[in-house]
Amino acid sequence: MDHDAALDCRLAVPAASGAVGRDAWVALALLTAAYTISFVDRTAVSVVQDRIKAELLLTDWQIGLMIGPAFAIVYSLAGLPLARLAERRDRVRLLAWCVGVWSIMAMACGQARSFAGLFIARMGVGIGEAGGNPASHSLIAEYFPETRRSTAIAIYTLGAPLGAFLGAAGTGWLAGQMGWRNAFLMLGIPGFVLVALILLWLRDPTRAAGKVAVLGKAAAIPSFGAVAGKLVRNSAFRHLVWGGSLVVLVGYCLAAFLPALLVRSYGLPLAQVGLLTGLVGGLGGGIGTLVGGFLGDRWAMGRPARLAMLAALAVLPAPALIAGGILSHDLHLAVAGCFFGMIAIYGYVAPAFAQVHALAEERSRATVTSIYYLVTNLVGLGIGPPLLGALSDFWARGRLGLDSAGFVRACLTQGTTPQSGCAPAMAHGMEMALVAMSLLPLAAAVHFMLVARRYRQQSA
């Protein structure tokens, strides 16, 4: 990067010595706020899923499609061209545009009158959010030196659990007060406020004041094919991606379907469901994120092998915690198991992204981040929720001894009263599906250990 040019920018980039100025923290706060709002909009639909299911007469598989692929496919695919745009254009303006789009489409979710309408609105949310992470990660990598980057990433990633908490608790309360449709309208408003703050206070350190042309001469932007080819040939990156994908799958499934578990198995009201879901995903995820970032900088100290091993050790306890809590059939133990399991799951985030950034060249960080998100979201969010929904339907039908058509007639037909066994069967199906999914971090830990071994072999 052209250091002299960067000095003229409104928000300065820290020196290589490790110093981080006030402007970098202001930028990080705005980027974290954007990530937080994105997860508020992403989480809301999970909290009210049983009301949507009852009103639109949907199966768990359809709910999974709406929560997962409707968002994940366009989110992942649109992320690539938007990441390439972030390498060439003002990232701040791109981020502001994305926040505005996903806020509008989140409000549109509340106006959907059919499964197709809700599916399309969720696709719109995915398109808007697709450009947020690549641009933000690229900016963070410029504002913070490598020795402080794990902490910066942990703070930024804290937006996910914070947004999950606000989205779950806020949506649960709003839906209880004014209905789920009006709740979505209210949730879109903060995004428009943030758009104004981003445009007023944040500047792109290397694109501002016409510096793009200057930078372009100093550091050419590598082609997408060159970046992707280099990553595919890197076995450490491949294992990092697959391990991350499995962890993301479990995290998304737990966040998406914990509300259904609490409603079906314990009969909790929606406001309490939102609060407990928010505490599990928000507080638990936040603790895990911060601890992972702290240990990544203090214990691993930027060393890739230690970062990979830290990610492996973080996720190992998750299966026993989550499965044990759910199978206890005790509300307090179930919530506690999911809470500590979420801490374990989120502990991998900062160490993993610190490795992703280390593998990227200066003008390809947005693209590398987008590729990582492409795979992890297509697997974790694109496959996870519909797979869990299908498993839930499968075990629910098995409990009733019905095939698919018989299950729909007995439990999901308009104008008829569901059979008496439908509710406990659907609760059983959700419990078993969540337990099955909770075992996947064991495989993820193996991938992270292979990453650590690869780094040790390279340094030997």
Q: Are 125 and 42 in contact (CB under 8 A)?
A: yes
| pLDDT mean over 296-305 | 75
Euclidean distance between CA atoms 143 and 10, whole angstroms: 12
Euclidean distance between CA atoms 412 and 415, whole angstroms: 9
The terminus-to-terminus CA distance of the chain in angstroms comes to: 31
Question: What is the dihedral sign for C-alpha 398, 400, 401, 402?
Answer: negative
User: What pTM did the predictor assign?
Assistant: 0.75
Two tokens, residue 249: 């799958």
Which pLDDT band holds residue 212 (cuts at 50, 70, 90)?
Answer: very low
Euclidean distance between CA atoms 221 and 315, whole angstroms: 36
Query: If you write DSSP's letter for every residue of 388-447 in order, what string do you get?
Result: HHHHHHHHHHHHHT--HHHHHHHHS-TTSPPPTTHHHHHHHHHHHHHHHHTTTHHHHHHH
Q: How far is CA 129 from the centre of its chain?
A: 11
Query: Looking up tokens 């909790």, which residue turns up?
Result: 268
* CB burial string 42-66: b at 16+ within 10 A, e below: bbbbbbbbbbbbeebebbbbbbbbb
Query: Looking up tokens 């690869």, which residue turns up?
Result: 454
Which residues, other chains included, contact 174 with Cβ-Cβ below 8 Å and sequence gap of 6+? 182, 183, 186, 187
Position 296, amino acid: G
Q: Are 365 and 357 in contact (CB under 8 A)?
A: yes
Q: How far is CA 453 from the centre of its chain?
A: 27
- Counting Cβ atoms within 10 Å, is residue 29 exposed (0-12), middle (13-18) or buried (19+)? middle
Tell me the pLDDT tens digit for each residue of 65-113: 998 888 888 887 887 788 788 777 788 889 999 999 999 999 999 999 9
Euclidean distance between CA atoms 368 and 224, whole angstroms: 9
Percent of the chain with pLDDT strictly greater than 70: 89
pLDDT, residue 214, reads 38
Give 175 or 150, the one with higher predicted confidence: 175
Give 112 or 420, the one with higher predicted confidence: 112
Most confident of 89-93, 164-168, 313-317: 313-317
Backbone angles phi, psi at 329, to 5 degrees: 55, 30
Euclidean distance between CA atoms 109 and 67, whole angstroms: 12
Domains of the chain plus CATH, in order, are 21-459 (1.20.1250.20)
The residue count for the chain: 460
**Over the chain, what is the mean pLDDT?**
84
Q: Which alpha helices (H) appear in 268-347, and where do they start and end?
A: 270-278, 285-298, 304-315, 318-327, 331-346
Which pLDDT band holds residue 12 (cuts at 50, 70, 90)?
Answer: very low
* CB burial string 398-418: b at 16+ within 10 A, e below: ebbebeeeebeebbbeeeeee
Euclidean distance between CA atoms 46 and 227, whole angstroms: 35
Position 435, amino acid: V
Euclidean distance between CA atoms 5 and 205, whole angstroms: 9
Euclidean distance between CA atoms 425 and 357, whole angstroms: 46
Euclidean distance between CA atoms 345 and 337, whole angstroms: 12
- Using the 8-state DSSP alphabet, how is residue 282 labeled? I
Tell me the pLDDT tens digit for each residue of 392-412: 999 999 999 999 889 888 888
Residue 290: CA count within 13 A, CB half-sphere = 10
Distances (CA, A) of 391 to 253, 426, 444: 12, 11, 21
How many other CB atoms are there within 10 angstroms of residue 22's CB atom? 9
Q: Tell whether the model's pLDDT for residue 387 goes beyond 80.
A: yes
Euclidean distance between CA atoms 354 and 151, whole angstroms: 9
Query: Looking up tokens 């706020």, which residue turns up?
Result: 33
Percent of the chain with pLDDT strictly greater than 90: 40
Q: Are 131 and 98 in contact (CB under 8 A)?
A: yes
| pLDDT mean over 292-298 | 81
Which pLDDT band holds residue 3 (cuts at 50, 70, 90)?
Answer: very low
Q: Tell whether the model's pLDDT for residue 380 goes beyond 70.
A: yes
Two tokens, residue 445: 């830990």
pLDDT, residue 13, reads 43
- Using the 8-state DSSP alphabet, how is residue 283 labeled? I
Tell me the three state secondary structure of residue 255. helix
Q: Tell whether the model's pLDDT for residue 213 goes beyond 70.
A: no
